[in-house]
Amino acid sequence: MKNIRQTAPMERKMRRTLALIVLVTAPLSSHVSAQCGFVPDFCDYDTDGVVDANDINAIIGAYGTPVDPYTFGDVDGDGVLTVSDAQECAEQCESGDCDIVDSSKPNILLIIADDLSYDHYGFAGHSTIQTPSIDALAAQSVRFPATYVSSFCRPSLATLLTGLPEHRHGVTYHAGGALGDFPTLAERLQTAGYSSYQAGKFFEGSPDSRGFTDFLPYGAIGSFFNIGNVLVGRTTLQPIYDFMAETTSPWFVWFSPYMPHTPHNAPDEYRTLYEGLGLDAATIEYFAMISWFDSVVGELLQEVSEDTVVIYLSDNGYVQSAVSEEPEPGSKNASFEHAIRTWLLVRDRSTAAVEHTELANAWDVTTTVLSFAGVYHDDLPGQALLAQPLSELPAYGSRSSLVFQWPAGTFLERWIHVGDWKLIDVEVGDDQLYNLALDPTELINQIDAPESAQQHLDLRNELGAVW
C-alpha cells in the first residue's frame, strides 16, 4: 500500500464528513477488476492503520447498500454496481492486487437560464421558438421535464447555492437581508480540489465570500444593481474561456446570464427569425431573446470537452404578454406550472440519454453536482439524480409577497406536487387543487369537488411533513 498518503486519523475523520469515497466518471464497461478506485485519503476508512475488508464494511455502514454508484466501480464485471463490488475490491486490496487510484474528477458546467418556461424550446414541442443548441444538448442528456424551482430568480439561485429549499435558507424574494452562513456548493467543491468560477446573476454578496475561487468582477463587463454581470453572454464569454483554459485543477463554472431576461434587445438576426409570423412586437422581442440565449449556450458548449458534465435548467418561468417586457399573469411570481417548472438536462458522457418521469427539485441539482465531484452530501435533502433507482419524492415550494420580512419572509402561498395532483395552499383565500395529468394548464380548480376531498387532505398532510 505504498500509494496511500498517510493522514492523521483525526484529519481523515474530519475530511470524511465532507466527501464521498470516489467518483466514477467512465462507463461501467471501462472499469477493470484491478482497480478499486479509492481516493487515497479515505482508503483506511476505519482509521486503524490497515486497508482491509473492515474498511469496506465501514463504508457500507456509512452509505448503505446497494453502494452508491459513485463510490465503487463495477469490480466484479457483472454490469451492476452492488455490495459485491465492494467485497471483491476488499479482497483485491488484501491480496495486494488493487491499485489505489484517485479517479480524475470531471469538469462541471452549470447553465442557469433566466426567465424561461418549460415549454419554450423546440425539443419540448414549441412550434415557433428556435433553440437548436439546447435541443441538441437535450438529445444528449438525461432529462427531467418536471423539475421545480422558485417563482423568482433569487430564491432559486439561493437554493442551488445551498442545496436547501426556501423555507430552510430563508431567501424568499429579491430584497431583504443576506443569505445565512450555510455551506455553499462552491465551498463544498473546494474540499474536493475544485476551482470554481461565477459569472452572471448573483445576489449573495461577492462570490468569493461564498466559496468561488474566481469570478467575473461586477464592473468588468457591466453590473446591474450590484447583483452580478448583466452583460456576460450578451457581449462576451471570453473570461469564462480563459478560466477554463488556465485552470489546472478540476473546475466548476456557474453561468447564470441575464438571458432571456429583460432587456429584450436581441440583435436583428434573431428578431428576423420571428417576423412575418403574425406575432405581436413584444412576443417577437422575447422569442428573439430565447434564440440569442440558445446561440450563447451553443458557443459555450463548443469550448468544453465531451467529458465535461453539463447541467442545464432555468431559475423560473416566464410567458410573454402583449406588453413589452411584461410577463403574463401567473407565469412569474406565481405557483402555477409556467412559473415554477423547468426542464433539467444533465449531460454525462458515461450515462445514456433518457427521460425520467420522477419529479425533481432545484436542491437535487446541488446534490447531483456534489455527487459528480465525489463530495459528501448526506446532510442535504436532495438526491443525486443520476443514481438509480430514484425515489418518488414530492416537489414543493412557496411564493412570497413583494413585501419582504427577513428572515422568515411573507409567504402568500405554499404548493406541493405529488403524482398527478398539485395543491396550492393559500395563506389568505381559498386553496387550489389541480389534477395535472388531466388539466396541465391548471384551469379547473377541484378544491370544492367532493371526489377530490381525499387528495386535498393527503396533499396537506404531505406538505406538513416536508415543511
The three cell numbers of residue 384 are: 443525486
Residue 7: the pLDDT is 30
- Cα dihedral sign, 141-142-148-153: negative
DSSP helix/strand/coil, 331:
coil
Pairing of strands 421-426, 432-435: antiparallel
pTM value is 0.78
In this prediction, residue 135 has a pLDDT band, given cuts at 50, 70 and 90, of very high
Is 408 a residue whose pLDDT tops 70?
A: no
pLDDT in tens, 168-180: 888 877 766 688 8
Rg of the chain (C-alpha set): 23
Strand partners, 320: 327
CB-based contacts of 320: which residues, under 8 Å, 6+ apart? 282, 283, 285, 286, 287, 326, 327, 328
- Over residues 213-251, the pLDDT tens digits come to 999 876 544 444 456 677 889 999 999 999 999 999 999
Domains and CATH numbers, the chain: 9-95 (no CATH), 108-393 (3.40.720.10), 411-466 (3.30.1120.10)
Mean pLDDT, range 290-311, rounded to an integer:
97
**369 close to 387: Cβ distance less than 8 angstroms:** no
Alpha carbon distances (Å) from 326 to 161, 229, 285, 399, 445: 28, 22, 11, 19, 26
For the chain, percent of residues with pLDDT exceeding 70? 72
Stretch 374-394: mean pLDDT: 84
CA 351, CA 365: separation in Å to the nearest integer? 16
Q: Which of 173-177, 277-281, 365-369, 398-402 has the lowest mean pLDDT?
A: 398-402
Cα separation of 65 and 58, whole Å? 12
For residue 173, the model assigns a pLDDT of: 75
